Structure 1
Amino acid sequence: MNDTRPPTIDPAAASRWRQRPHTIDGRFASAWLHEEVARRMEDRLSWIVRQPRSWLHWEPVRGGLSVHEQLVRRYPGVPASMHAAVPEEAAWARRVARGPWWRRWATWFRSAAPTVWMPAQDQTVDLLWANMSLHMADEPLALMRAWHAALNVDGVLMFSCLGPDTLRELRELYAGLGWQPPTHEYTDMHDWGDMLVATGFAEPVMDMERIVLTFDSPERLLRELRELGRNLHPERFPGLRGKGWRKRLLADLARLADPAHGGRLRLTFEIIYGHALKPERRLAVTPEMRLSVDELRSQLQRRRD
């Protein structure tokens, strides 16, 4: 087995999830929890003193699109770009981020520089924003390397993802019923920190919080879980289940009712936040060294600074 791959993520299922347009009620939209986490992560940007000269929004539809406008307000006039694996999502995200014509006109009239759209694959940026995507990656080290390659030296990665305490109530319920896990396992924040260092990042800072959500019905709970993602566990139910199984599931989900929350169904989500820097590449000193012209220029410029 590839030791860089989480043991409970099915690569084929993860690939299908990446390639499938993310819609809610037939339209492109972000899950409520992802929007809330994005809002909280945006507050953490106050910890970053250096202001970026460019930034990249990674998977904006899946991670929380409404925060894009907050980031534009935080960094007015700073060129921005978007990356989305699904072309339809990229087109929709850019359309939403541009806003209605009257808002674009008002922005231009105030002489505030508008957002500039750049092809993400041809540019490097000072800030990469990746909200709630890492826990769905079957090759997280490869994803981190892609983030690393997209950043300038001294650039900052800001990301969030689900942690291992997520859906503990649902996991216990499924285990008690003898069913396969309801979701794949999530990685601990300390392991994420180690992987960041292994992929070339420096000074990773990790923290976490738990968010408790309550739902007024089993149907509402299932609907919102489907908005968050999919079960990528290799041992998930292998086929379709019938109406009888769904009826039993809805009845058993009622056991998640919490008297402390008025009998509403309770689920816990562990949210991990992290940020790290892309340091200057250290040159290995050997009797014979080969440097590109760009590397030599970079080294000389840094010595002048």
Structure 2
Amino acid sequence: MTSSERPPTIDPVAAARWHAAAPAVSPWLHEEVARRMEDRLQWIRQAPESWCHWDAVRGGLQAHALVSARYPKARCQIYETAAHCEDSARQALAKPWWSPARWSAGNPQLGMPADASVQMLWANMALHTAADPQALIAQWHRALAVDGYLMFSCLGPDTLRELHAVYAELGWPPAGHAFTDMHDWGDMLVHAGFAEPVMDMERITLTFATPERLVQELRELGCNLHPDRFPSLRGRRWREKLYQVLSDRLADPQQGGQLALTFEIIYGHAFKPAPRVRVSSSSAVSLQDMRTLLRQGGKEN
């Protein structure tokens, strides 16, 4: 897949480097988005028997506690795609031997979930930095059992629109890679085999007292993965100019003069339906799909 065909304008090498080096902490924005996504679970009638938290450390450890409290009897699988986050997840989520919670669902299991092994897959703020999002969505689809469902969130295209405008006005390269629209995510979910995708979005405005604090927050959230970003490091003078420009251009009178940035948050939800076999002179069916069809007596939905 070339960069022009990939939904976000993203450099896969830079994305891999960031993923391997991202701080093993849950940024504040990730926790807040996860809290809002957890509130949407009240509309899900069937509690999962097991669920997978995909990249829990970056996605939100506080939110993990909220989901676990909502489904105290459900078995939990933690899968950290970045090796350096696995120890952090183990230390943060392991229940002590004396905890009564150990006798309900037990400690979360770490590692890749087996195919068709969970009824819910929870992935918060991970999709927008994936160099190959279709492959990631396909992994989620494989992990889910039939009638299981996906809950995910990511950044949308209006994110950092103020910062992008500043960079464009100054003739600088893009401030970050382009984020995918929620309708395109819905199309990709259907292409991967999901059904009934429900997408919605909201905008969150964050304010900062100083440009230094603003830049610090952005560094915790991610980095510029655009293929046409600045090709080398900038110097101290460029940083001073950046801080001055941010102070001048992002100050919002409606926010008391604080520096304001917009974040578009996309929420997605979709089910994994039973597999369908198209009748033709020659049909290929995966082993997992065949097992599912046999359990259903070979009947199509």
Tell me how many residue pairs correspond in the alignment: 296
How far apart, in 1, do the equivalents of 2:294 and 2:267 lie?
A: 35
Q: Deviations over 1:127-152 (max 9, x none)?
A: 00000011101111111111111111
2:267 is aligned to 273
Q: Distance in 2 between matches of 1:175 and 1:200?
A: 39
1:249 aligns with 2:227: no
Contact 2:80-2:111 at 8 Å conserved across structures:
no
**Unaligned 5+ residue runs, structure 1?**
none
Structure 2 spans left out of the alignment, 5+ residues: none
Q: Quick one: structure 1 residues 247 and 154, their matched pair in 2 at CA, closer, same or farther if it must change by over 3 Å?
A: same
**C-alpha contact 1:189 1:207 (8 A) present in aligned 2:** yes
TM-score normalised by structure 2 residue count: 0.92
> What is the correspondence of 1:190-269 to structure 2 with a 5 Å cutoff?
190-254=183-247, 255-269=249-263
| 1:10 counterpart residue number | 11
Alignment counterpart, residue 114 of structure 2, candidates 108, 122, 134? 122
The 8 Å contact of residues 53 and 78 in structure 1, kept in 2 or not, is answered as yes
Distance in structure 2 (CA, Å) of the matches to 1:182 and 1:194: 27
Confirm or deny: 8 A CA contact 2:8 2:128 kept in the other structure.
Answer: no
Measured after TM superposition, the shift of residue 116 of structure 1 is 4.0
Shift of 1:77: 2.2
CA distance, structure 2, for counterparts of residue 193 and residue 153 of structure 1: 19
Q: What's 1:75 paired with?
A: 71
Structure 2 vs 1, CA of residues 208 and 7 (structure 1 numbering), >3 Å: closer, same or farther? closer
- The question of whether the paired residues in 2 share the 8 Å contact of 1:4 and 1:141 is answered with no
2:153 to 156, 160, 181: 160
Q: 2:182 aligns with which of 183, 189, 192?
A: 189
Residue type matched to 1:92 in 2? S
Shift of 1:108: 4.9
Distance 1:235 1:121 in 2: 36
What RMSD in Å do the two structures reach over aligned CA positions?
Answer: 2.1
C-alpha displacement of 1:15 = 1.4
Deviation at 1:288, TM superposition (A): 5.6
Q: Given the alignment of the two structures, is residue 56 of structure 1 paired with residue 52 of structure 2, yes or no?
A: yes
Structure 2 Cα separation of the partners of residues 293 and 168 of structure 1: 46
Q: How does 1:39-50 map to 2 (within 5 A)?
A: 39-50=35-46
- TM normalised by structure 1 equals 0.91
In structure 2, distance between residues paired with 1:31 and 1:16? 18
Q: CA deviation at 1:84?
A: 1.0
Taking structure 1 as reference, are residues 207 and 290 closer, same or farther at Cα in structure 2, changes over 3 Å only?
A: closer
What displacement does 1:122 show?
A: 3.1
Tell me the alpha carbon deviations over residues 151-200 of structure 1, each in whole angstroms, 9 at most, x when there is no partner. 11111010000000000111111111111111110110000000110111
- How much does 1:294 deviate? 6.0
**8 Å Cα contact 2:20/2:84 also seen in 1:** no
Query: C-alpha offsets along residues 49-108 of structure 1, whole Å, 9 cap, x if unaligned?
Result: 111111000111111121111111111121101111222201211210125x3xx51325
Q: In 2, distance between residues paired with 1:142 and 1:14? A: 15
Deviation (angstroms), 1:18: 1.9
The 1-side partners of 2:287 and 2:92 are apart by: 41
Distance 1:66 1:201 in 2: 28
The structure-2 alpha-carbon separation of the partners of 1:68 and 1:39, relative to structure 1 and needing over 3 Å to count, comes to: same
CA gap of 1:244–1:232, structure 2 versus 1, over 3 A, is: same
Whole-Å Cα distance in 1 between the matches of residues 120 and 225 of structure 2? 29
**Measured at CA, do residues 244 and 80 of structure 1 come closer, stay the same or move farther in structure 2, by a change above 3 Å?**
same
Aligned to 1:302: 296
Q: Percent identity?
A: 55
Code of the aligned partner of 1:98: A
Q: Distance in 2 between matches of 1:87 and 1:301?
A: 37
